[in-house]
Amino acid sequence: MTADEQTPREFDPYLAQGEVKHPDQTDPYFGHLITAMVTPFTADDRVDFKAFEALAAKLVDEGNDSLVVSGTTGETSTLEDYEKADLVRAAKSAVGDRAKIIAGTSTNHTSHDLEMAVKAERAGADGQLVVTPYYNKPSQDGVYAHFTAVADAVDLPLMIYDIPGRTGIPVATETILKLAEHPRIMSLKDAKNDITATTEVLTKTDLEIYSGDDQNVLAWMAMGAAGVVSVTSHVAAPTFRRMVDAVLNYELKAARIAHSELGPVIRALMTRVQGAVASKLVLGWLGFDIRPDVRLPLVQANAAEQELIRSDLREAGWTL
């Protein structure tokens, strides 16, 4: 048999039958599929830890390698510090060593970030997600000093979260390249939508890069990214898992099919209302025991928004 006649699986020495193997790196510390979890609330606005633990277990059962607790979708800006630490403990209790727990420790006040990093470590977190300081718009020197200080505060792997649409400023590529030299800064959640910048970081660093936009996962992984930190995976984790594994196995056709299936679902969860609002709503529609309640200034989806979400999901073939 000539090389031209061999199948990609037979020809590629990195791939063994039945295995998922990425040839370019060891398995990423946080894995490939990560859900940024919502924080369920009770009718009296308390954290619903029973629903939260059940959701964490469900997500891991469906193929998640790690979970983000008290991130943007977890309504971190309206959670109390003690609630954030308790959520880390609850997640660890629910999933044990089946998945890693990444604590959102971000504020725009560096000393507060340091306190939150210590609380997360003491609560048992496996890593921390740190966003660019928002509102006060520091210089890139300030951004570098902020991330370095938080990384130095505890012995936790740190994931940079670059999302200028929310924070007001990007983390410049030059700053990321410098931060990548820190031994505890291991990964980047990239929601900047700058393919040139992402390519440069992929080429020049060993950072494990995750798409921070659900619609970009296939493209980013094709360039060499590790995977995704997703919101839509609350309700479509098996399809994300199928797509991720297809990319890792060089099965482009299968990855494209999964990507196309996810399109209307991503639109429903990510474009009609804020992600936490949509995720809780759709989880409830699917029969999961979770209330649609969110904390102000977020509010529940109105009737028109709900119909748009239903329409998107019908397009995906879902019956609700």
What is the identity of the amino acid at 91?
A
Residues in the chain, how many? Answer: 320
Name beta bridge partners: 67: 35, 101
Annotation marks residue 161 as catalytic: yes
Residues 92, 100, 189, 280: which is the catalytic one?
189
**Ramachandran region of residue 57, left (φ > 0), alpha (ψ -120 to 50) or beta?**
alpha
Collect all residues with Cβ–Cβ distance below 8 Å to 163 and sequence separation of at least 6: 72, 131, 132, 189, 191, 192, 212
**Whose structure tokens read 């073939």?**
317
Closest to 232 measured CA to CA, from 309, 315, 311: 309
Residue 157, token pair as written in the block = 């792997």
**Ramachandran region of residue 168, left (φ > 0), alpha (ψ -120 to 50) or beta?**
left
**Cβ-contact 31, 237 below 8 angstroms:** no
Residues 92, 100, 144, 161: which is the catalytic one?
161
**Chain centre to alpha carbon of residue 254:** 22
Backbone phi, psi, residue 40, to 5°:
-70, 145
Backbone phi, psi, residue 76, to 5°:
-55, -35
Closest to 228 measured CA to CA, from 25, 22, 33, 74: 33
Annotation marks residue 29 as catalytic: no
The residues that are catalytic are 161, 189
